[in-house]
Structure 1
Amino acid sequence: MTAAASPGAFCAIDFGTSNSAIAVPSAAGAMALVPVEDGQPTMPTAVFYQVEGRAAHEPPLRLYGRAALAAYTEGHEGRLMRSMKSVLGSTLADQQTEVGAGHAVRYLDVVGGYLQHLKALAEAAVGAPLARAVLGRPVYFVDDDPARDAQAQAALEAAARSTGFTEVSFQYEPIAAALDYEQHLAREELVLVADIGGGTSDFSLVRVGPERRARLDRREDILANHGVHVAGTDFDRQVDLAAILPFCGYRGLGPARPDGPPREVPSRVYFDLATWHLVNTLYTRPRVHELRRMKPFYGDPRQHARLMDVVEHHLGHALLAQAEAAKIAVAEGGSTDIDLHLVERGLAARLDEGEAARALDADLERIVTAARETLRAAGVAPDGVDVLYLTGGSTGFLPLVQRIAAAVPRARPVTGDRHASVAQGLGVHAQRLYAASGRG
């Protein structure tokens, strides 16, 4: 890939919960996505801190994207970090976490390190330093808490600046998707952009068209936007809780009691085990010790034994990956078997469409409600929308798409590049912001 760059060259970064991408100016003048891993324009948002094979004084080796996931699944000693975007705006952002062999890293530095990796790949592609960046952001990092939402954006900006960017701008991710869609239009349309990713579900109602696309300031064209912090990783959690973790004691019962019915096993550990960015918190010595002491709470000792196997052998992310695969399989084929031999030889679970629907119903309804709220905020009737533009990895989940489409019955469904349209749209915005204004 060749590109024209100057000392003030710019880029656009889609730092996603599940996948990320970066766009730079190409030699042809347009924005182009950088091949970030194995020739692909997107890369899983994952970091693996490998301590295996490292001397005691050496810092862990950092692996990114698919390489990080492969190192984890192959059983190398170290620590996998996923869904790092979810810690922005939380109390975890400035905390340190152990990554193995006595090493610790601040969560925000994990984000900065990942952005640095993307930046280095892009700088190698353009052959020049990148000084300016447009970053995507969800409509809400944190629901119903403006202070924490602002704190999350500030944390992401600080992480970006730590990599050497001197100027950082933001654009809403669903607006970026609208800009990508708009490039190919011949007439004006009213578009409901549904950007359903790994961490958030964002909606924007936007007027787009050939006469509007040249405007740098598009505030008048954005009629409303709204979002909720519910998306693909939440679906994974619900499937994990519904189909897999009951084998490890979730909603299990304790021993029989003479003075009443058995009590339910404490559930906090299972919610942490089913949340991508919290799984690693269970692997600390104090938490492992605490879980060992919980054995008397279990009426079925096999459930506690399985839980301890999962925690002591660091299988939490692997189980979530199984839940994610089951979610996709059910959406495509109606039912699936989940092989749990990692936990116990011969152990398996089954997930069918009805069970998945029950497990995900509340989350799906919250997302559809956010779509309806977007229309209400704009004062637009459901049948007044011309196009439903779908982007984000979770728009491959058909039951969700069907529910959203039913909320705008006359809209024409259009599916963008689920993993790259936001990055491409951010690139369009970056080019208009920096190049067109003579700042590139």
Structure 2
Amino acid sequence: MSYCAIDFGTSNSAIAIPAPGDAGMRLVPLENGQPTMPTAVFYCTDADDLPPSVHRPPLPELPRTFGRAAVQAYVDGYEGRLMRSMKSVLGTALIDQTTEVGHGHGVKYLDIVTGYLRHLRTLAEADGGQPLTQAVLGRPVFFVDDEPERDAQAQASLEAAARAVGFADIAFQYEPIAAALDHEQRTEREEIVLVADIGGGTSDFSVVRVGPGRAHRTDRRDDILASHGVHIAGTDFDRRVSLGSVMPPLGFGAFGPEIKGQPPRPVPSRVYFDLSTWHLVNTVYAPQRVAELANMIDFYGEPVHHQRLMSTVRHRLGHALLGRSESAKIAVAEHGVADIDLAVVEPGLRSHLDAAGMAQALRDDLDRIVACARDTVARAGLQPDGVDAVYFTGGSTGLGLLTDGLAAAFPTARSARGDRLASVATGLGLYAKRLFGA
């Protein structure tokens, strides 16, 4: 069997291959025995000081690490550049651009995506003991909201990366449809399910008719009643938390000095938005941008804000601060409060986030996600009480604020949950088996 299924996610990725005999599909253990791996790459720029488990591609490509090892290399302070949320670059002008990774080295964003997919394929081939030439790749309902041309370009870029890796036969499936196929394995009767697949980059919804009598059909187009999505999800939540709790001590929302009796003006905010957006953090470190920021000290009424900002930029702490925002989001979801340690910027610097603050920070995003879910059901020609079940999948469905809001929008539907990180990959594997397995 030469086929596989790849869930290339904004935050985490997975790959499924045929199990021995006729046992269906299985997820490949990618890192430390785990079936999912963070979608992260760390490019190593110091050849004399490399982290463990480094991969050495042919010259002139740089050594690199992937997944949890990539994040750890960044945390441990190795020379290089951490890349995360590469999927968010698909459909943007950045995909064909080159980003500096240090010591004069540059890498095209599309090559970063290609290298990560190649790593997934290599791990899967080693685990399965045979080459893989056919692949089903998951995709969000919309890579880009309300721009069909850019959305098509995003899929074309992902397909180009997959072909560069060595896949000759490529198919795509919507990620929420894949989740529905996974859910269907556990249904005992026919039902209408609203799949809520909310990960790192997008919130995708599909209304799907599922049931034991339909499970073995290859063509399920008639069972897909509607699909819709919005480009808001976990990384947007991270940005909201960052702007609300992490960036204010660095000057976000502050004002400049009073000049000649004129009211103080707000400190320019673009740098804070870039530092709070995973795939834009690296743009702040360009030498010209750093020089421009250094010259903006007169814009700040509180010089300490500018000092903290420059410390963040010069020491390339953007990803570390976003990681603290992400951890704070998770801590509040689990415990109701988070104490945010910002000592990497300044000794003793801290911030705070509680449930009320996070609810306020995320309110607009959550409202848009719930509205998208309602719209999806309406596009299927149904009222909210026409939904039998809401199936939650994707890493961001661990956020109670989100799932509670969606459940309240469909009060007569039962809530069902799969593996938040692996159900899409499992469903893509089922689809790949039906498509290529014959």
TM-score normalised to the size of structure 1?
Answer: 0.96
Choose the corresponding residue for 1:161, options 154, 163, 169: 163
In the alignment, structure 1 residue 427 sits paired with structure 2 residue 415: no
Q: Percent identity, aligned pairs only?
A: 63
Displacement, 1:125? 1.2
Choose the corresponding residue for 1:227, options 226, 229, 240: 229
In the alignment, structure 1 residue 16 sits paired with structure 2 residue 16: no
Deviation readout 1:305-339 (Å, 9 max, x if unpaired): 00000011111011011001111111122211101
Choose the corresponding residue for 2:33, options 30, 39, 43: 39
**Structure 1 residue ranges, 4+ long, deviating more than 6 angstroms after superposition:** none
Instruction: Kindly indicate whether the alpha-carbon contact (under 8 Å) linking 1:231 and 1:394 is maintained by their aligned counterparts in 2.
Output: yes
Deviation readout 1:243-270 (Å, 9 max, x if unpaired): 0101111011001122421000111101
5+ unaligned residues in a row in structure 2: which ranges? 50-58
Instruction: Kindly indicate whether the alpha-carbon contact (under 8 Å) linking 1:47 and 1:80 is maintained by their aligned counterparts in 2.
Output: yes
Displacement, 1:59? 4.2
SS across alignment from 2:278: coil
CA distance in structure 1 between the aligned counterparts of 2:13 and 2:336, rounded to whole angstroms: 30
Choose the corresponding residue for 1:289, options 278, 288, 291: 291
1:28 is aligned to 21
1:125 is aligned to 127
Mapping of residues 77-96 of structure 1, within 5 Å: 77-96=79-98
1:62 is aligned to 64
Moved more, 255-264 or 71-80: 255-264
CA distance in structure 1 between the aligned counterparts of 2:243 and 2:40, rounded to whole angstroms: 23
5+ unaligned residues in a row in structure 1: which ranges? none
Choose the corresponding residue for 2:379, options 368, 377, 380: 377
1:73 is aligned to 75
2:42 is aligned to 48
What CA RMSD, in Å, does the superposition of the two structures yield over aligned residues?
Answer: 1.0
CA distance in structure 2 between the aligned counterparts of 1:408 and 1:211, rounded to whole angstroms: 26
Deviation readout 1:47-93 (Å, 9 max, x if unpaired): 000112349x8642110000000000111110000000000000000
Moved more, 194-203 or 258-267: 258-267
CA distance in structure 1 between the aligned counterparts of 2:8 and 2:336, rounded to whole angstroms: 32
Moved more, 305-314 or 255-264: 255-264
Displacement, 1:376? 0.9
In the alignment, structure 1 residue 189 sits paired with structure 2 residue 191: yes
SS across alignment from 2:279: coil
Deviation readout 1:265-295 (Å, 9 max, x if unpaired): 1111011000000001111111111110111
CA distance in structure 1 between the aligned counterparts of 2:389 and 2:245, rounded to whole angstroms: 36
- Aligned partner of 2:325: which letter? A
Instruction: Kindly indicate whether the alpha-carbon contact (under 8 Å) linking 1:131 and 1:167 is maintained by their aligned counterparts in 2.
Output: yes
Deviation readout 1:170-220 (Å, 9 max, x if unpaired): 000000000011112221011000000000000000000011111111110
Mapping of residues 34-433 of structure 1, within 5 Å: 34-54=28-48, 59-433=61-435
CA distance in structure 2 between the aligned counterparts of 1:113 and 1:59, rounded to whole angstroms: 10
CA distance in structure 2 between the aligned counterparts of 1:154 and 1:286, rounded to whole angstroms: 32
Instruction: Kindly indicate whether the alpha-carbon contact (under 8 Å) linking 1:13 and 1:135 is maintained by their aligned counterparts in 2.
Output: yes
CA distance in structure 2 between the aligned counterparts of 1:93 and 1:327, rounded to whole angstroms: 29
CA distance in structure 2 between the aligned counterparts of 1:309 and 1:28, rounded to whole angstroms: 57
Deviation readout 1:372-431 (Å, 9 max, x if unpaired): 010110111101111110000000000000000011111110110000000000000000
SS across alignment from 2:94: coil
Task: Pick closer, same or farther for the CA change 1:58–1:216 going to 2, 3 Å.
Answer: closer
